Structure 1
Amino acid sequence: MKSLNFIFILFLSQIVCSQVYKSSEPLAHTYSIVARDSVTGNIGVAVQSHWFSVGSVVTYGKAGVGVVATQSFVNPSYGSKGLALMEQGLSPQQALDALLATDNGEMFRQVAFLSTKGEVATHTGSSCIEAAGHRQGKNFSVQANMMLNNTVWDAMARAFETTKGDLSDRMIAALKAAQAEKGDIRGSQSAAILIVKGTATENSWEDVVMDLRVEDHANPVQELERLVKVQKAYDFMNKGDLAMEAGDSKMAESLYLSAQNLFPENLEMKYWYAINLLNNKEFDKAHPILKSIFEQDMNWKTLTSRIVKNKLLIISDEELSKVMKL
């Protein structure tokens, strides 16, 4: 404990300066959730607000460390400094307390910290605009300010706790529950979701699981939900590409089909699924799919002849000729 206190005092002396409310600070009155997936260990933060590009203001996260939502009269330093303090070994509560203690505008702040262990710390300042409040639960915290109704955070908590699915599904459900309670008194404009791994890898580019923003939209939560679904489809596509690289066309076919099921209107997903059907000599299944694609866009037929050279398509000249006549 003495060593932790020493780190705490030393680190504060290096990075924490007096923080005050400034009229120039973003007014991100909003609702948000910070949460951990107990199965995968992934941690995330999601938010909606009647404010342009709320994700660039409110959400912060670092794999192997934690996530932060800083809102109301936003002090962005809670994001970077909060993560830095947690990375030094402070708990979310210790990190949040340290920053609040040096902030003359703490009564205007609403902030939530979550660690990779699922520990949470939340602050709703006494001068946050009503309706404002928060609720903590196992592996999560939900918080909101300037809401039309004071039922928002309880509804968010219930939705997160009862929804089945992965972390993104459950956080989106929390945002939708807030909207169902009428949400932000001003309406909707932007939304964002950030998910990072609970354990950092040696490759920082692999540490971000999801980072999606809806900067300006009439129905930002609905659009964010759509983008989450699209990303999941492309995640299957990426895995399918890797399977193709490895020469496992059966696995690639399965992965591309999973992508197509999530995003059926996407021609590229249909195309690569059909290409793998050809590689697996399932010509009767592949031909009608490719014929439909070629009728919509002839460029895919041109591409088909080119990928033979790269050995992404491995079929006989006779079979290729049949495909090119579709």
Structure 2
Amino acid sequence: MTFSIVARSADGLLHGVAVASKFLAAGAIVPAAEAEVGALASQAHANLAYRSQGLALLRTGVPAADVVAGLIAADPGRDDRQLGVVGAHGDGATWTGPRCHPWAGGRSGDGWAAQGNILAGPEVVDALRDAWLGGADLPFPQRLLAALAAGDRAGGDRRGRQSAALFVVQRHGGYAGTGDELVDLRVDDHRDPVGELGRLLDIHTLLFGKPDPATLLDLTGPVADEVAALLAAAGHPVGAAGLEEALDAWAGVENLEERIVPGRIDPVVLDHLRRTTAAVAGG
């Protein structure tokens, strides 16, 4: 009922899962991941215990193939299960029970595993694999999403579309560095869940992406003048406290506080300020 990819970044610092299904809220059931430990997808007749048990094994350094072997050996329902695992090092591993509804199967390699059941055909998993291997130039979350989108275009779940999810972990990669959940996005019920997941990831990247130090602009001269004028037009005029406080106040309303850098401005923030002001002016 599902197709997914579990993967690790080339530097081993990120792990994640991307999944889509003709099933309500697959993201609530399939993915699990722990920063610098590994990632896991449990699907078909999913065994939710695989998630915590699998991560516990990965935490002790058990290779992905042995994690899969251990989980299914202890599970009398393994013939109806599907599982993908990747650890902190080495190849990923995948299992497809013989009673999973066709087409069902998986592929795996260094740092990744792709699998699916009730699919249009093996071309779905092949598309996941090929897009993952060909996407090394993309940021890790976008690479996972690109693989999922390729599987969707190849036919995906042969029953149709309903839900999709993207879960990526990185040590201290979560909001304000207070957690490890770098990306945790779900589309629970939608006609085009993978497309909608892409839209959400774009918003997530805008709001929570880290500023590129090489592109930051000093808040001085013409840049400061423009920012002050835009803030005033957006309803946040510069007061006695100064330009930076007005910018901070506006950014807090827009949920862009993660992109604020003292004394400078991220071009992404400036572009959003320009668009926001233009929208207000346009009514």
TM range (shorter): 0.7 to 0.9
**How far apart, in 2, do the equivalents of 1:146 and 1:162 lie?**
25
* Partner of residue 312 from structure 1, selected from 222, 242, 245: 245
Q: Residue 262 of structure 1 aligns with which residue?
A: none
**How far apart, in 2, do the equivalents of 1:210 and 1:306 lie?**
36
Q: Match of 1:126, SS?
A: coil
Q: Residue 127 of structure 1 aligns with which residue?
A: 99
Equivalences for 1:121-160 in 2 at 5 Å? 121-160=93-132
Q: Residue 76 of structure 2 aligns with which residue?
A: 104
Q: Could you state the TM-score of these two structures normalised by the residue count of structure 2?
A: 0.77
Q: Match of 1:33, SS?
A: strand
State whether residues 172 and 179 of structure 2, in contact with CA within 8 Å, keep that contact through their aligned partners in structure 1: no
State whether residues 231 and 246 of structure 2, in contact with CA within 8 Å, keep that contact through their aligned partners in structure 1: no
Shift of 1:290: 4.8
Q: More helix per residue: 1 or 2?
A: 1
Shift of 1:138: 2.2
Q: Residue 82 of structure 1 aligns with which residue?
A: 54
Q: Match of 1:194, SS?
A: strand
* Partner of residue 223 from structure 2, selected from 279, 282, 303: 282
Q: Match of 1:173, SS?
A: helix
* Partner of residue 205 from structure 1, selected from 155, 163, 178: 178
For the structure 1 residues 218 and 280, does the alpha-carbon distance in structure 2 shift closer, same or farther, using more than 3 Å as the test?
Answer: farther
Sequence identity percentage: 33
Q: Report the structure number with the largest CA radius of gyration.
A: 1
User: Deviations along 1:163-218, whole A, 9 cap, x unmatched?
Assistant: 231211221111111111111011111111111127999x9833222111111111
Q: Residue 24 of structure 1 aligns with which residue?
A: none
Q: CA RMSD in A?
A: 3.0
Shift of 1:49: 0.6
Shift of 1:41: 2.8
User: Deviations along 1:253-291, whole A, 9 cap, x unmatched?
Assistant: x45x8xxxxxxxxxxxxxxxxxx75x5553564467457
Q: How many residues align?
A: 246
Structure 2 counterpart of 1:282, one-letter code: V
State whether residues 118 and 140 of structure 1, in contact with CA within 8 Å, keep that contact through their aligned partners in structure 2: no
* Partner of residue 224 from structure 1, selected from 182, 185, 197: 197
User: Deviations along 1:99-122, whole A, 9 cap, x unmatched?
Assistant: 111111101000011101143121
**How far apart, in 1, do the equivalents of 2:114 and 2:152 lie?**
14
State whether residues 35 and 118 of structure 1, in contact with CA within 8 Å, keep that contact through their aligned partners in structure 2: no
State whether residues 307 and 313 of structure 1, in contact with CA within 8 Å, keep that contact through their aligned partners in structure 2: no
For the structure 1 residues 287 and 306, does the alpha-carbon distance in structure 2 shift closer, same or farther, using more than 3 Å as the test?
Answer: closer
**How far apart, in 1, do the equivalents of 2:60 and 2:107 lie?**
26
**How far apart, in 2, do the equivalents of 1:204 and 1:134 lie?**
35
Shift of 1:231: 1.3
State whether residues 47 and 55 of structure 1, in contact with CA within 8 Å, keep that contact through their aligned partners in structure 2: yes
Q: Structure 2: 5+ residue runs without aligned partners?
A: 248-280
Structure 1 counterpart of 2:241, one-letter code: V
**How far apart, in 1, do the equivalents of 2:243 and 2:101 lie?**
60
Structure 2 counterpart of 1:304, one-letter code: P
- 1:184 aligns to 2:157 (yes or no): yes
**How far apart, in 1, do the equivalents of 2:121 and 2:32 lie?**
27
**How far apart, in 2, do the equivalents of 1:210 and 1:200 lie?**
9
State whether residues 78 and 97 of structure 2, in contact with CA within 8 Å, keep that contact through their aligned partners in structure 1: yes
Q: Match of 2:122, SS?
A: coil
**How far apart, in 1, do the equivalents of 2:246 and 2:102 lie?**
61
**How far apart, in 1, do the equivalents of 2:12 and 2:204 lie?**
18
Q: Residue 270 of structure 1 aligns with which residue?
A: none
Q: Match of 1:213, SS?
A: strand
Structure 1 counterpart of 2:223, one-letter code: E
- 1:69 aligns to 2:41 (yes or no): yes
* Partner of residue 115 from structure 1, selected from 76, 80, 87: 87
Q: Match of 1:151, SS?
A: helix
